[in-house]
Amino acid sequence: MNEDKPPVIDADAVEMTADGTAVKQDSTASTDAEASKDNLPAVTEARAARTQRWKLTIEYDGTDFAGWQRQNNLPTVQGSIEDAIYKFTGERVTVHAAGRTDAGVHALGQVAHIDLLRKTDEKTVRDAINFHLRPLPVSVISAEAASSDFHARFSATWRVYAYRILCNRRAAPAIGGDNVWYHPLDLDLAAMNKAASYLTGTHDFTTFRATGCQAKSPIRTLERLEFIEDKTSPQQGRHLVLWAEARSFLHHQIRNFVGTLALVGEGKWQPEDVRVALEALDRTKGGLMAPASGLHLVRVDYTPRAIFQQGLDSMI
């Protein structure tokens, strides 16, 4: 990767894919069609019968990437992993992710799948890809053999995001500033959580999705939206984390939540103003979108829904 940062642009993709039937409505291409669109060889039935599907759990710092999705002449997470796999196996494959994160968004537990002709084992897949990824800030945490009907995106049942804010300090952070939203003023945690309570449950989230969101429906069910204070960091300032848990999210939904809830935390809005904005079904009635730097995809699940533990142990 060049030392100069690439342009910070939004990938042509959503932070999270739609759930259940909505996912399939939003999807316009099958695995083979996606490969053709990306100018890669289609996965024929004959080839599929000879490949092994691998489930990858991936961690990355999105700061210097133009998002997850492969783009010509720009560094992306997907493109970097695909290049590493080619160096390992000599195969050009598509890495299919659970959700295509935007430029500057990070992941602690992104999940993807690949199909390889090469006969190998889990340890070799993990270690060989990581060897060829060096020194990029991308790591394959684990590689697991998966059944042919497993799909990183369509099989997912639950997703967890964390949005990190460093506030209440006048000096900008010298360390870790690309992984938080630095907000010099203090924020009212109780008021923000009261406002967030209006957003949990099933709603039409038109006010909080990107105007260019490709999802067919703005209706989503949000199980958890809660700020906690992280008192474990030795770094000076106040560390707040918004935990968001649902089966799926709309494009920019979480960052738009944060930008709006910050208005409440600053005292510019009352908590009830967030309910009014939600009911307006108008993006212009919500707050500005918060920066990508604070957003982390923490976890993707493929089992029946289970509410995660409270606090930072949700990251485990």
- From the candidates 102, 115, 178, 301, give the one annotated as an active-site residue: 102
Identity of the residue numbered 168: N
- Determine the Cα–Cα distance for residues 188 and 192; give it in Å rounded to an integer: 6
Joined tokens for residue 9 = 């642009």
Q: Of the candidates 160, 102, 110, which has an alpha carbon nearest to the alpha carbon of residue 289?
A: 102
Burial class of residue 190 (count of CB atoms within 10 Å of its CB; 0-12, 13-18, 19+): exposed
The alpha-helical segments, DSSP class H, found in the chain are: 20-26, 31-37, 45-48, 77-89, 122-133, 189-197, 253-265, 271-280
Burial code of 16-29, b = ≥16 C-beta within 10 A, e = fewer? bbbbeebbeebeee
Active site residue 102: yes
- Determine the Cα–Cα distance for residues 250 and 217; give it in Å rounded to an integer: 9
- Determine the Cα–Cα distance for residues 163 and 254; give it in Å rounded to an integer: 8
Q: Any idea which residues carry the catalytic annotation?
A: 102
